[in-house]
Amino acid sequence: MDIKKIFDNNKSWVAEKLNRDKEYFQNLSKGQNPEILYIGCSDSRVTAEELMGAGPGEAFVHRNIANMVSNLDLSAMSVINYAVKFLEVKHIIVCGHYYCGGVKAAMMPEDLGILNPWLRNIRDVYRMHKDELNAIEDEDEKYNRLVELNVQEQCVNVIKTPDVQRALKRQAITVHGWVFDIHSGKLIDLEIDFSGILKEIQQIYRLH
């Protein structure tokens, strides 16, 4: 992609928006009130707003390699804190995707330097579900299943955060686990059992 072309693209985008609504950007500058926190992968093929048909102001977004929610990641924890405490989002979505390079890398016995501690979190998901995964003979099927299980475990990590635990006392928040299938463009709801997981989590991770 030509970097200079980006500024031309931006000009056309501004013109298009203003053509439909003269006060579009003035209104945007007034503030944000998104109802969704979207946590997704940094993969360039997986967009956040575009695949949901959402526009500016509709989703608070956090992306990293393999859509991880790590307790020690100050960035992810700050995003969740702000989204839950100040924006009071109603939905938190963890969206993974098939053909995720991060998940694939975690399945290989390879030393990847600085990426090792990050991928370790995905290897932990593999270990937690190794019986189910090792029973799958087809490598692609196994890979896709780990993508799904990783989304599920990251949803659990979202529910475990103190901010979500606190917020659940005063506001209705639902955590959703989705997978984007790059091959078909379709978004799949994994329909994670939010209340079931919540109940199980509360036994150990509750703060009140």
* Residue window 159-198: x/- pattern of binding to Co ion, with contact defined by CB under 5 A: ----------------------------------------
100-119 residues in contact with Co ion (CB under 5 A) are 100, 102
Contacts of 62 by beta carbon, 8 Å cutoff, 6+ apart: 37, 38, 39, 40, 75, 76, 79, 80
The region of 93-101, 112-120, 174-182, 195-203 touching Co ion under the rule CB under 5 A is 93-101
Among 43, 148, 156, 192, binds Co ion (CB under 5 A): 43
Q: Does residue 97 carry a catalytic annotation? A: yes
When the beta carbons of 43 and 153 are compared against Co ion, the nearer one is 43
> DSSP for 120-167?
HHHHHHHHHTHHHHHT--SHHHHHHHHHHHHHHHHHHHHHHSHHHHHH
Q: Does residue 176 carry a catalytic annotation? A: no
- Which conformational region is residue 92 in: left (phi greater than 0), alpha (psi within -120 to 50 degrees), or beta? beta
Task: Check binding of 41 to Co ion (CB under 5 A).
Answer: yes
When the beta carbons of 102 and 177 are compared against Co ion, the nearer one is 102
Q: How far is the CB of 147 from Co ion (least distance, A)?
A: 8
The position carrying tokens 């937690």 is: 128
